Chain A
């Protein structure tokens, strides 16, 4: 086999696949954050906890009710999304007139509560979730577990479907219009508060869907979303929250950057995204796809 800069291809492509998978999660999560922020003006700090809840919902459904992975893929986001709708109706609704910081603090408090409760009930060590598509295929230059390949494709489909839903459908047009000027859209007879609630439910559902997809790859644990959400914040700063496609591209791209760093300089792989953030802030403070505001 050929070698690239002294790196065996198995290692290179293996890490690139891992990077692509991480990127898939960055993309799905930053997408949800951007959709929620556009509509609610709230940075949803609970996003990591809701991702964790998605994984937990699938794990509990399997353990208690024998619900298979494919059903959980649909059911878990619905359950967690409904939970999101309740949060919006009960709590978030009351703070839209305040400074953005309060939304950040409120959702941070919620994240602490949710993660604390899950940790109290199930501890902080992880529980395994069996892979729904075991096995894999040797592609010659690398070994590809079927499930990991599926995750990358599924995430791409989910991201593009979200993009299509927001940029190309009627409901999406309402959504974009309401983001731009809620009062005017309300005057046209569209129920904007309901649209806001639905948007939050959708964003939370996306986070939960990502959590279900992550369950067979990672351990299901109470703190699985805690540091992920912090990385996703950096991804959002890098991409800017102005564009849906921008979030998707930035997410996948940064996953790849992280994977490559793991091949060429492993100690920096945890921090490379933050370094990219610093560079982007220097060169293009509004973010790669952001408008200056």
Chain B
């Protein structure tokens, strides 16, 4: 039993080291902007997955945090000339603040209603963004620029340099989620997910735990959105629309809900697919829809979940 456990832990550690080496070497053989975009979406998907996988709450409106954070970042950096570090901080705090308000209301209902409420609030934010002057409507915030970080120490105009910054941000966000899930707080959250009545009867205030998970998820989604705006230098209505909320669900679903690495894999698959299929226009939507249907019908565990299952069967057999 003990040997088995350490064996499993060793495999996990080796896998993590291999992935880290791969991540560090990646910009030398892959297109850095693609990698950075994928990392931003991976972080976004992890934030979504934190809520669904570990709190059992499916938000269908996570684009509101991602997109608003992108606008916050763009506005503070481009219009007000603030340093990007401060822009990211404002974006994360702003996303968290939106999370406090919408989360407090949404957790008053459960299950499918929760999904519909988050979707509706995201649509409200979207309509707001269509009209508000600071978003520049259909044009979006363009040409945010890439001012250097740390007062000029890090020249982010170089894509490879920026890549390592983005990787550091990703690892920070990912690490925060990992710590959160493996803390006593995360354990209580799982207990609430599995049986809310029991957790309540044990004296845990379920709503406070859910709200905190929601706000943390919103903040990490905001971090992802702000980083995306820093990399691609624009923020548009696409970032805040319902299709974006659906996309992050798809990423987590493809990778494997409730697995900690699944959403990362899912994000890379979906972003790679979008790059590959970009020329086909509307067909990207059709294919994404088809993937939803196929996964729900046949592969509900996602890539990572199915692989883990296969590995377990192989070990046993």
Contact = CB atoms under 8 A, between A and B. Distances in A.
Contact of A230 (B106, B112, B123): B123
B112 A100 contact: yes
A281 B286 CA distance: 35
Contact of B300 (A102, A111, A113): A102
B242 to A, nearest CB: 6
Given A120-B282, A230-B123, 8 more contacts: A43-B115, A106-B296, A109-B291, A116-B283, A116-B285, A237-B113, A274-B121, A281-B108
A285 B109 contact: yes
Nearest to A105: B296
A285 B297 contact: no
B157 to A, nearest CB: 37
Interface string B242-253: 100010010001
Given A112-B246, A267-B131, A271-B128, A285 B286 contact: no
Chain A at the B interface: mostly helix, strand, loop or mixed? helix
B120 A105 contact: no
A91 B285 CA distance: 19
Contact of A95 (B60, B127, B246, B296): B296
B317 interface: no
Interface of A: 43, 91, 94-95, 98, 100-102, 104-106, 108-117, 119-120, 226-227, 230-231, 233-234, 236-237, 267, 270-271, 274-275, 277-278, 281-282, 285-286
Given A106-B293, A109-B289, A116 B120 contact: no
Nearest to B285: A116
Contacts of A278: 105, 121
Contact of A116 (B121, B242, B282): B282
Contacts of B16: none
A105 B249 contact: yes
B269 interface: no
Contacts of B233: none
Contacts of B124: 271, 274-275
A241 to B, nearest CB: 9
Contacts of A104: 58, 60, 112, 115
Contacts, number: 119
B111 interface: yes
Interface string B41-83: 0000000000000000010100000000000000000000000
B292 A106 contact: yes
A112 B289 contact: yes
A120 B297 contact: no
B119 interface: yes
B33 to A, nearest CB: 26
B112 A112 contact: no
Contacts of A120: 281-283, 286
A285 B104 CA distance: 12
Contacts of B120: 230-231, 233-234, 237, 274, 277
A114 B119 CA distance: 20
B38 interface: no
B108 A285 contact: yes
A237 B109 CA distance: 9
B116 A113 contact: no
B274 interface: no
Given A120-B282, A233-B120, A277-B117, A111 B289 contact: yes
Among A95, A109, A110, A234, find the residue whose CB has the most chain B CB atoms closer than 10 A.
A109
A114 B111 CA distance: 26
8 contacts: A102-B296, A105-B249, A106-B292, A106-B297, A108-B289, A113-B290, A116-B286, A231-B123
Interface string B93-121: 00000000000011011011101110111
A109 B112 contact: no
5 residue pairs, one from A and one from B, having the closest CB atoms: A109-B292, A112-B289, A116-B285, A113-B289, A274-B124
B142 interface: no
A66 to B, nearest CB: 29
A102 B301 CA distance: 12
A56 B58 CA distance: 32
Contact of B112 (A43, A226, A275): A43
A119 B285 contact: yes
Nearest to B284: A116
Nearest to A99: B111
Nearest to A37: B112
B131 A282 contact: no
A44 to B, nearest CB: 11
B289 A116 contact: yes
A113 B292 CA distance: 10
Nearest to A286: B109
A285 B282 CA distance: 38
B286 A110 contact: no
A270 B129 CA distance: 11
A257 B121 CA distance: 18
Interface in B211-254: 242, 246, 249, 253
Contacts of A230: 119-120, 123, 242
B285 A94 contact: no
A230 B116 CA distance: 8
Contacts of B246: 108, 112
